[in-house]
Structure 1
Amino acid sequence: MSDVPLVLLHGGGPGVDAVSNWAATIARLPFRCIAPDLLGFGTRITEGPRGPREWAEARAQQVLALLDRDGVEKANLVGNSAAGGAAALALLAAAPHRFGRAVVMGGAGTGPLPVRVPFYDEPTRESMRATLGRLVADESAHRDLLDDLAGLRLDQALRPGAEEAFRSMFAGDPGPPADLTAITTPVLALHGERDRVSPAEVSERLAAALPHGRLGVVAGAGHWIHVDRPDEFRRLVGEFISA
């Protein structure tokens, strides 16, 4: 197991937290993992930032404070989707000397904002289950997981302040979370071939904009690559981080 920890930054769907995002993944990775609840989710529901970039920068400062508190001088990153991926890019821009390599998933929040804010216009268990279903390539392969997560994430999405924080993440400037051309850290941009949330072209553009970016399209995977293709996810992350 590597001495350099791997920071896992969860995605940005309604009601998400670190445990529900990474529970089945951490045991598969050959690294000491740190998986915090990001600002605006789980135990860290808060007000303040407005718009994708402000939230990414605030989460980057949150993670840096966590690493400082725990005495972690250097780490690697995995950032999932629009919350974790964008926070990872903001971290690489803010403190490049603190990170060796990074893997980002699903476009890392660099694509267009959704036309409608997910779930909250119809905050029911059925709506949550449908929202989660779009994250995998084949719902029938993960029916039990999705059913279990729908109840958990519904409860968390309805906590006081959760809706207000979530809606504010889609307001304001929809631009990238950082100056991508200034990020010198090696970054692997993973994208599921069957992603129904964000097309693979978003990660193609992201990888091309990064000075040391690399694209990896995972065949048969949806937005949740780590759920649809867990063994391949483990291999790709392990090989890239350890290179």
Structure 2
Amino acid sequence: MSDRPLVLLHGGGPGVDAVSNWTAVTARLQAGFRCLAPDLLGFGTRTAAGPGLRGPRAWAEARARQVLDLLDREGLERVDLVGNSAAGGAAALALLAVAPNRVGRVVVMGGAGTGPLPARVPFYDEPTKESMRAVLGRLVADETVHGALLDDLADLRLRQALRPGAEEAFRSMFTAVDEPPVDLTTITTPVLALHGERDRVSPPGVSERLVAALPHGRLEVVAGAGHWIHVDRPDEFCRLVEEFISS
């Protein structure tokens, strides 16, 4: 394992936590980096955290401050980041806006929350195992390939999504608030945006627009992958992360 620190910021689906989000690639990434993977505010062990926050930008900025606190506690002056989707990706972009000197290189996934808000909040209008399983199924390109994994995750994430405070926090993350987004044109850090060719949550065009706005952004569309690139194509995902972070 290298002593180069890499912070893994998980996605924002109902009931998610860091361990289950990254399990498909943790071992390989730990072979090359010192990985830190916190539960982000509003999820996992931090379900009840973040009272009073409303809207995606407020949550992203609060999570950016959470990551800065983690770096300070660990005595880390500078790290690289991998940010997954509308929770981790958005937090990574928010961190680049407020403390770019603390970050070397960044990989974001699935549009990093820069697309439109979902038309309806997933799962909580019908909080059942079947509903959770359907939500998770949309994250991969082919459900039949990952059936056992999705069944196991549905049980875990159902329990976590029904913890006290989880629904309130989740709904507030997707509340439309009249606030300007992060100004991407001011972010000078190198950013690699990964997007699954078969993403059913957020189309590749979201990442295309993200990269077009970033001064040093690059896009890689991963063939055959859905929203969960690291699950559908773990070897290719790790290779892209390792090559970009180490370049």
Output the CA distance in 1 between the equivalents of 2:180 and 2:44: 24
Q: How many residues align?
A: 243
Letter in 1 for 2:70: L
Offset, 1:24: 2.0
Letter in 1 for 2:242: G
List gaps (5 residues or longer) in structure 2: none
- Find the counterpart in structure 2 of residue 14 from structure 1: 14
Q: Does 1:42 align with 2:44?
A: yes
- Find the counterpart in structure 2 of residue 131 from structure 1: 135
Alignment of 1:33-72 (within 5 A): 33-45=35-47, 46=49, 47-72=51-76
- Find the counterpart in structure 1 of residue 208 from structure 2: 204
SS in 1 for 2:106: strand
Offset, 1:172: 2.8
2:164 aligned to 160, 165, 173, which one? 160
Deviation string, structure 1 residues 204-223 (Cα, Å, up to 9, x no partner):
00011000000000000000
Letter in 2 for 1:139: E
Q: What's the RMSD between the two structures over aligned residues?
A: 1.1
Alignment of 1:90-239 (within 5 A): 90-173=94-177, 177-239=181-243
The two structures have a TM-score, normalised by structure 1, of: 0.98
- % identical equivalent positions: 81
Moved more, 18-27 or 154-163: 18-27
Moved more, 97-106 or 18-27: 18-27
Deviation string, structure 1 residues 175-232 (Cα, Å, up to 9, x no partner):
6752100001000000000000000000000011000000000000000000000000
SS in 2 for 1:14: coil
Letter in 1 for 2:5: P
Output the CA distance in 1 between the equivalents of 2:142 and 2:183: 35
SS in 2 for 1:204: helix
Q: Is the 8 A contact 1:5 1:34 kept in 2?
A: yes
- Find the counterpart in structure 2 of residue 4 from structure 1: 4
The two structures have a TM-score, normalised by structure 2, of: 0.96
SS in 2 for 1:120: coil
Moved more, 149-158 or 26-35: 26-35
Q: Does 1:84 align with 2:111?
A: no
Give every structure 1 segment of 4 or more consecutive aligned residues whose post-TM-superposition deviation is greater than 6 Å.
Answer: none
Letter in 2 for 1:3: D
Output the CA distance in 2 between the equivalents of 1:19 and 1:180: 29
Q: Is the 8 A contact 1:113 1:174 kept in 2?
A: no
SS in 2 for 1:109: coil
